[in-house]
Amino acid sequence: MTETQRRVIAISRAIGAGGEEIGRMVAAQLGLRYADQEIIVKAAEKAGVSPETVAKAESSPSLIERILESLGRMPFTGETMAISPPVLVEAPVAYTGLIEQVLREAAAQGDVVIVGHGASIPLAGMSGLLRVLVTAPPETRISRLAEAEGMDAGKARKAVKHSDDERRNYLRRFYDVGEERPDRYDLVVSTECLSLEEAVRTIVVTAG
């Protein structure tokens, strides 16, 4: 398949697998735009809020936010209730479609590597799309994270578990996907043994 036929690459990644670095390297080698934070910024512009607010919306809401969100949906009965749910409480619902819209607009422009945001799911079936999952076994990712961030193995293990849980929650909340299966991707790259450069070459060859 020629390069002109593959101009949108959506990369999903597990923490510690090197997905961001791989995405940037692939974009540089193919001369494509790199989009990750750009998705957040453009969604924020459309909503008229800060990028931090949209980024927060992509994370699982805390218990208190879920309680406030439920209170916000209750009909007014005339009884005293001083709680007024902040705009942030509604963000997980309000921004779901907005982020998907920005993803589709970025993909429609073509010549882009999109990293994160579960882009492979809403863009599935699009002509010229290559869906890539960059992953590695948990122990490998724990070791890398501990070394990169200078933290002990225990903290790194908790960080990896938290990130993996967040990924599952994100896919469930945004796209109603209960399980991230390999068959949702065109290419699955494990960086357990492959170097970042080897992973990049694999993606570039597949996209070419």
Residue 127 counted as domain residue = yes
SS3 of residue 179 by DSSP: coil
DSSP state of 27: H
Percent of the chain with pLDDT over 70: 80
Q: Are 35 and 113 in contact (CB under 8 A)?
A: yes
For the segment 89-145, what is each residue's pLDDT rounded down to a tens digit?
Answer: 334 456 678 888 899 999 999 999 999 999 999 999 999 999 999 999 999 999 999
CA distance 61 to 69: 10
Alpha-carbon distance of 92 to 116, in angstroms, equals: 16
Let me know: does 53 contact 44? Beta carbons within 8 Å.
yes
Residue 89 main-chain phi, psi, to 5 deg: -60, -35
Q: Is residue 80 part of a domain?
A: no
Q: With contact defined as beta carbons under 8 Å apart, do 118 and 104 qualify?
A: no
| Residues 6+ away with beta carbon under 8 Å from 143 | 153, 156
Looking at the structure of the chain, the number of domains it has is 1
User: Does 143 map to a domain?
Assistant: yes
**Is 65 a member of any domain?**
no
Is residue 201 in a domain? Answer: yes
DSSP H helices in the chain: 19-30, 37-47, 51-57, 63-73, 87-94, 96-109, 138-149, 153-175, 196-207
For residue 80, pLDDT beyond 90: no
Report if pTM > 0.85: no
Evaluate whether residue 197 is within a structural domain: yes
Residue 88 lies in a domain: no
Per-residue pLDDT reduced to its tens digit, 57-79: 777 544 334 433 444 444 444 44
Predicted local distance difference test score (pLDDT) of residue 2 = 45
Q: Mean of the pLDDT values across residues 12-36?
A: 95
**Residue 100 sits in a domain of what CATH number?**
3.40.50.300
For residues 189 and 113, the answer to whether their CB atoms sit within 8 Å is no
Task: Tell me whether residue 72 is in a domain.
Answer: no
The model's pLDDT over 42-51, given as tens digits with 9 standing for 90+, comes to: 888 887 878 8
Domain of residue 159, residue span:
3-58+95-207
